[in-house]
Structure 1
């Protein structure tokens, strides 16, 4: 029965994933959009830390962690994001609900297999702007209304393997197929003219990349253990098929747009490099009690580019992310008091995103807390995470984004493929 439920959920969310808007940020216009995936809810609640192995929770940031699974695990997570964006003169609020990941991990002896679907990056913004043109007496002659819309992103389908090489060392690799479509529309309408213009751009992105990972775990004393983790992603390339058309439009009183004439404009197909990534971290603690750790992720983001050659105003630089976090379980064996079996998580994350606008680096800082709520009599957990953060700045004609993300996930683990002894 449980397998039928999982299959039904997978089908539902695989259809819904293509229609979602996972961001409301104008920064998502550049490159391949906002990089949304920063780990499962369990990892994100610890500042995106991926150092710790787990026998019943999926860790899809390092493929070597698949070898730590003892039970077949299904993981699903989504986020409700509330963002307040502001400049020096204006403010706006936006809300989005999106699927973060859907994955399954299967242990097979010393081998662990994982596969799933991840919405990796997201484009989603709606910006309206009115420019007033005045004469020498400062009287308004005309106004120009501009509207910018974007939607889409890049998704990943992955297949990964982890192998327990020794008692202390796991190794792993995964293969990822990237695909997606990004659509942007730029509308301009002048009040003293009957018609306006709209430029429509569509980019279809495709490409393959892979990750390599290794983990290390050893006892320091009778209770405490040390954990180490290393992940490397080589540089890869996305092919981008671009199309563009320009329309003469009429803006109706209902705000609907009627197309009067359309003309296709030839544009070159492009290639976008996905940067190489190196992530390494370490942790220390008592298994099933408490653990703390830190992680550093380096991205060679300077190789990134935009989808169209004529996009101006943005450059890219090498990026870095620092993560610090951990968890605490009062007593995972407690049956009398439920709150003692809850996993309490917390963490901090700081990163230079690698995007440079107005010669200013766009930085992102967030604080995280989370709770793992076990369901009695099962290995299933409902995981809740809260992230509060800030990205960018309101100065230098840029946008400051203050966000609160509430994430909820399901981690369901059970024994599959067990041969029945009795009918």
Structure 2
């Protein structure tokens, strides 16, 4: 059954990763787009905290956690993104539905293996502007559209060095396309102008992680986590065309190599396993090395970014036979980050509150995780855009035992 589920979602993901528009943010015009992946639904509900080792849930932020799995786990997650975009003069609403990740984790004794696909960043915006005279007649129309993004296929492996310490690495292949279009039409000018920019993106990067846990007074557990991603290169094959009166003119543009910034994340957690846990995490990323896809894109500079995460979970009674609600996992968290973009000399910041529940399937270890995210990014002042968002995240985690040697032939 689980193999059929994997094949079905694999086909769905292959279609969605090529076709989905995963953001409605004008800020996705810059850099490599709007970085969407912030962990599985379980981690995202806790503000992105990923320090906890879990035997039945995948942790895609630290590859060391693959060695903590005790059951083969298949995870898939998606989101409904609802955004209100504001300026000092206008307000618009946008809605997107996206598939966020598809992954499998397999325990092999002290080893753990994970692989999957993740839509990492997205470009998706539509901006139209009209200039009118005093009588309301249109003098000029301009428009800006963008679509595409970067996907990751990854393979990771972890080893349990001791009962307290795991080490893991993963390799990620990045691929995708980004297409942006701008047009301008003026009254009295016969022909409008359309400029199209196209980038085909590819490149490899790696992550390495440590996960530590130790008992304190038998009842409580202390967790620690460290993840490092070295700087990597993304190769961009660029094309540009300008169309005037149906005449297409190919413009010479240079292919580029962008630096995917190095990143380090470390955190700690404390609590009573299968009852409650609370943790915090700090992520530092060298975003000042990031550039735009074309050398003539202006209006933004990049700075190093920092993300703070705080969250945890609570389970009233994980093995209760009398009450289903006591077996539900309740999660919550906070996240704050400066995104690394500086526009109009203003750092673009992002703050969110997360909460949700994990609902078990009857007497199995499989579960449905439902999360909610309320947040704000940017500002409507300084000629910028404020994004107020409400996201609904849904994740499925299926668990089973594989590679079990039969006792009888």
CA distance in 2, matches of 1:142, 1:104: 54
Structure 1 residues 201 and 332, CA, compared in 2 at 3 Å: closer, same or farther? Answer: same
Distance 2:136 2:62 in 1: 59
Deviations 1:285-335, CA, capped at 9 Å, x for gaps: 000000001000000100000000000111000000000000000000001
Q: 2:343 aligns with which of 327, 352, 357?
A: 357
For residues 5 and 181 of structure 1, what CA distance do their matches in structure 2 show?
28
Q: Does 1:184 align with 2:180?
A: yes
C-alpha separation in 2, matches of 1:87 and 1:247: 31
TM-score normalised to structure 1 length? 0.95
Please point out which of 207, 230, 236 is paired with 1:234.
230
1:407 & 1:171 partners in 2: Cα distance? 29
Q: How does 1:321-400 map to 2 (within 5 A)?
A: 321-400=307-386
Seen in structure 2, the aligned counterparts of structure 1 residues 194 and 377 have a Cα distance that, compared at 3 Å, is same
Do the aligned partners of 2:310 and 2:334 also contact (CA within 8 Å) in 1? yes
Q: What is the rounded CA distance, in whole Å, between the counterparts of 1:95 and 1:184 in structure 2?
A: 20
Contact 1:142 1:192 in 2 (8 A): no
CA shift at 1:232, angstroms? 0.3
Secondary structure of 1:15's aligned partner = helix
For 2:167, the equivalent position in structure 1 comes to 171
Deviations 1:4-25 (A, max 9, x none): 2222221222222210000000
Aligned to 1:75: 75
Cα distance in 1, alignment partners of residues 9 and 282 from structure 2? 34
Quote the Cα distance in structure 2 between the aligned partners of 1:11 and 1:26: 30
Deviation at 1:182, TM superposition (A): 0.1
* Structure 2: gaps of 5 or more residues: none
The separation in 2 between residues aligned to 1:13 and 1:119, in whole angstroms, is 9
Offset at residue 139 of structure 1 (A): 6.6
Aligned to 2:303: 317
Q: Is the 8 A contact 2:130 2:138 kept in 1?
A: no
Instruction: Rate the CA distance shift 1:161–1:196 in 2: closer, same or farther, 3 A.
Output: same
Q: Report the counterpart of residue 291 of structure 1 in structure 2.
A: 277
TM-score (normalizing by structure 2) = 0.98
- Which of 217, 225, 232 is the equivalent residue of 1:221? 217
Partner SS, residue 405 of structure 1: strand
* Partner residue, 2:101: 101
For residues 382 and 78 of structure 2, the distance between their equivalents in structure 1, rounded to whole angstroms, comes to: 34
TM-fit CA distance, 1:169: 0.4
- CA drift of 1:366 comes to 0.0
Matched, 1:196 2:192: yes
Q: Distance in 2 between matches of 1:353 and 1:406?
A: 21
Task: Verify the 8 A CA contact 1:101 1:119 in the aligned structure 2.
Answer: yes
Once residues 399 and 356 of structure 2 are traced to their aligned partners in structure 1, the CA distance between those partners, rounded to angstroms, is 19
Gaps of 5+ in 1: 250-259
